[in-house]
């Protein structure tokens, strides 16, 4: 009998914990990155692995923002310069063997669940950010549909939250041919 009572208590505790989890709003955490001196927040559930900049093979007749393809862990990934795609910079950042590794940037792959073998070239990783450290930013300039919102941190820096799933489905982003 004692075992049945202990089992019932365990089941009740588990049911209570599940109910509390359902009632709490899900928190969103982001990977903070810098692209062309602008702060961007990439949702952790949509971002994949982070890679050092590898050899990127150019693709002829492609958009200027599409840098080419890179072999990342045995899979080919398209490499997009989001800064150029958004019109934040005029030319591609320096990458390659003549640039020190700390200055070469990083490649952030899209999560495999988005079913897009692509990655974004970013200038710097700036760590993780949590919603409680950010507030809605003042003002609002026109932004593409995959830029969810602008947020500001305690120091006043503006961060643009990206929806990588929406970017992965964006017609202009998928059209790499020039």
103-149 tens-digit pLDDT:
568 999 999 999 999 999 999 999 999 988 898 887 667 788 999 99
Burial 107-146 (b: 16+ CB within 10 A, else e): bbbbbeebebebbbbbbeebeebeeeebeebeeeeeeeeb
In a domain, 60, yes or no: yes
In a domain, 72, yes or no: yes
Please classify residue 15 by burial: count the beta carbons closer than 10 Å to its beta carbon, then call 0-12 exposed, 13-18 middle and 19+ buried: exposed
Predicted pLDDT at 17: 78
Token couple for 77? 């990934």
In a domain, 107, yes or no: yes
pLDDT tens track for 43-91: 999 999 999 998 999 999 999 999 999 999 999 999 999 999 999 987 7
Residue with the larger pLDDT of the pair 15 and 44: 44
Residue with the larger pLDDT of the pair 126 and 102: 126
- The stretch 151-161 carries a mean pLDDT of 92
In a domain, 4, yes or no: no
Residue with the larger pLDDT of the pair 166 and 93: 166
Identify the residue whose tokens are 């929406």: 166
In a domain, 123, yes or no: yes
Predicted pLDDT at 74: 92
Predicted structure pTM score? 0.77
DSSP state of 11: H
pLDDT tens track for 25-43: 556 799 999 999 999 999 9
Enclosing H/E stretch for 18: helix 2-23
In total, how many domains does the chain have? 1
In a domain, 23, yes or no: no
- Domain coverage including residue 51: 28-174
**What's the CATH code of the domain at 144?**
2.40.50.180
Predicted pLDDT at 149: 92
Q: Which residues pair with 151 in a beta bridge?
A: 136, 159
In a domain, 2, yes or no: no
In a domain, 5, yes or no: no
């Amino acid at each position: 009998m004692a075992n049945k009572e202990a089992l019932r208590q365990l089941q009740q505790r588990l049911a209570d914990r599940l109910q509390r989890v359902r009632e709490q709003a899900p928190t969103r955490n982001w990977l903070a990155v810098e692209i062309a001196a602008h702060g961007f927040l990439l949702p952790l559930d949509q971002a994949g692995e982070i890679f050092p900049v590898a050899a990127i093979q150019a693709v002829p007749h492609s958009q200027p923002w599409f840098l080419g393809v890179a072999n990342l862990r045995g899979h080919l990934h398209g490499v997009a310069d989001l800064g150029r795609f958004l019109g934040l910079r005029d030319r591609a950042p320096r990458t390659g063997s003549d640039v020190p590794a700390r200055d070469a940037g990083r490649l952030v792959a899209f999560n495999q669940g988005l079913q897009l073998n692509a990655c974004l070239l970013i200038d710097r990783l700036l760590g993780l950010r949590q919603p409680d450290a950010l507030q809605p930013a003042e003002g609002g300039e026109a932004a593409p549909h995959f830029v969810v919102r602008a947020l500001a941190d305690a120091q006043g820096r503006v961060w643009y939250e990206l929806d990588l799933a929406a970017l992965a489905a964006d017609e202009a982003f998928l059209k790499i041919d020039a």
